[in-house]
Amino acid sequence: MALFILLILASFCTVGQTALILNNCGTEARRPAYTDITVVCGTTYIELAIEICPVIYTGYNESLLILNHVMGDQACSSTLDTTVSPPVTKFRFPIKEGSACGSNFMTTSAAGTGVFSDFSNIQTVNISGVVRSHDPTIGTVTYNAELKYFYSCAYPLEYLINNTRVDVSSSSIVLNDNNGSFVSTLSMDLYKDDKYTFPLIMPPQGIELRTPIYVQVLATNLTKQYFVLLDRCYVSVSPKPANSTSFNLFVPCSVHPLTMMLENGESQKARFSFRAFRFIEQQNETVSTYYLHCITRLCDRSTCSFFRQCHQKRRRRDVKSSVIKDNISQPSTLTVAIKAKSQDHTSSLNEGTKDQHHNQSAALGLGIAVALLIVVCVAAVLLAVSLYRKQLR
C-alpha cells in the first residue's frame, strides 16, 4: 500500500514539473491555433510562451520543439510551466546578435515622420525566428503535422527624451514600456562639473546666466550591441514643445557655438554641455524656466560612425529659434527643467542703494553750499551798511 501511494506521488510530481500527458489537458486538447504563442519583446531578453496542450495533441512534447534549428544548447531549450492555465513551454534568449539562439537580425531604414521628420534615416531593428517541431518518427511516413511558431520583435532605434519636470534633483522616468521598446533603458541627468560626479540641483531662484550645464544621456541594462547617439537636443518654453518657442542646442551636422559635444555615439552614454541662458519673452519674469528635450538614437556599434558623419542625405536645420507646430505624443518621458535667473537682483539692489546714497550726498552738498552763499551775502550786506553809516558821521 505504501509503495502504491509512493508511485502515485511520483507520477503527480512528474506531471507537475517536467511532463504533461494529453489526459491532463482537458478542454485544451485541441488543434494548434495562431494565438498559441505569446511574444514578450523585452529590453535585454525576448521571451516566448507556447501553449503545450495543442503541441501534445499533435504528437509532440516540449523537448521536440526546436528554436531556430539550434539543438543541444540548454540555453536555447524550452522549459515547461504547468503552474499557469493553460500550461505553456517557455523560451528565453538574449537580444545579442550571435547569442540569440539563431535569431535573425535585420535593420531597416525609413524617412522620419512627426517629431522625427527632420531625419531622413530612422532605423528599426527586427529580430525574428521560428520554433519548429522535430518529428521523431522513424520510417517512410508520419501522421504528425509539422508545427511552426514564428516570432518577431521590432525595436525602433530613435526616441524622444522629453523633459517636463520642474525639479531636477528628483529626475525620474515615467514608463509605459510597450513591447519592442528600448526607451526604458534611457535616462538623462544634469551635472555641474565636467567629470559628471556632482548632480546639478536647481536652486529655487535659478542658476546664474552663462553657468555651464553638463548633460548625460545614459543607457542601462541594454545589450552591449547598441550605443547612444544624440541627433538633436533643444529647449522649449513650454513643458510640451507643441506650439512653443524653442531653441536648438544642436541638430545633425550643426552645433551652436556655446554648445560643446563631449561624447556622442561612442559608448552607451552621450555627453554635452551648454551655457545657461534665458528666453527674451520671459524678460519680465524673475526666473526664466525652460525644458530640455533630446532625440536619441540607439545605433549598432558598427554603424554609429556613419551617423556621426555629415552627409547630404541627412537633412540639416539651422540653429535658430523656431516654433514647433507638430504635436508630440510619446508614452515614455523623462522629466527635468532648467531655471535661469533673468537678472542679478542682488547687484541691481546694491546699485540702486549706491545711487540713492549718491543722490543724498549730492543734495546735502548742495544745501551746504547754498547756506554758505547766503551767509556770505548777509555778511557782505552788513559790512556795506556799516561802512555807509561811518561815512555819514
Query: Same structural domain for residues 150 and 224?
Result: no
Residue 37 near residue 50, CB atoms below 8 Å: yes
State the CB neighbour count (10 A cutoff) for residue 19. Answer: 16
CA separation for the pair 186, 195 (Å, rounded): 20
- CATH number, position 167: 2.60.40.4100
Helix (H) or strand (E) holding 156: strand 148-156
CA separation for the pair 279, 241 (Å, rounded): 15
Query: Same structural domain for residues 189 and 278?
Result: yes
- For residue 131, tell me if it sits in a domain: yes
pTM surpassing 0.95? no
SS3 261: strand
Query: Same structural domain for residues 44 and 102?
Result: yes
Going residue by residue through the chain (393 aa), what tens digit of pLDDT does each one get? Answer: 343 333 333 333 333 334 788 888 888 888 888 889 999 998 889 999 999 999 999 889 999 999 999 998 999 999 999 999 899 999 999 988 788 999 999 888 776 665 565 665 678 888 999 999 998 888 887 777 889 999 999 888 877 776 433 222 222 222 323 347 788 788 888 999 999 999 988 888 888 888 899 999 998 888 888 899 898 888 888 777 666 788 899 988 889 999 999 999 999 999 999 998 888 887 777 888 888 888 888 888 888 888 877 754 444 443 443 333 332 223 223 335 677 776 554 444 344 444 445 555 555 566 666 667 776 666 666 666 666 666 655
The 10s digit of each residue's pLDDT in 326-384 is: 322 232 233 356 777 765 544 443 444 444 455 555 555 666 666 677 766 666 666 66
- Nearest to residue 293, comparing CAs of 262, 251, 264? 251
- For residue 369, tell me if it sits in a domain: no
Query: Same structural domain for residues 170 and 186?
Result: yes
SS3 207: strand
Among 106, 137, 156, where does a domain finish?
156
SS3 237: coil
* Domain range for 187: 158-345
Strand pairing class (37-41; 45-51): antiparallel
Number of structural domains found in the chain: 2
- Cell numbers standing for residue 9: 506521488
DSSP letter (8 states) at residue 333: E
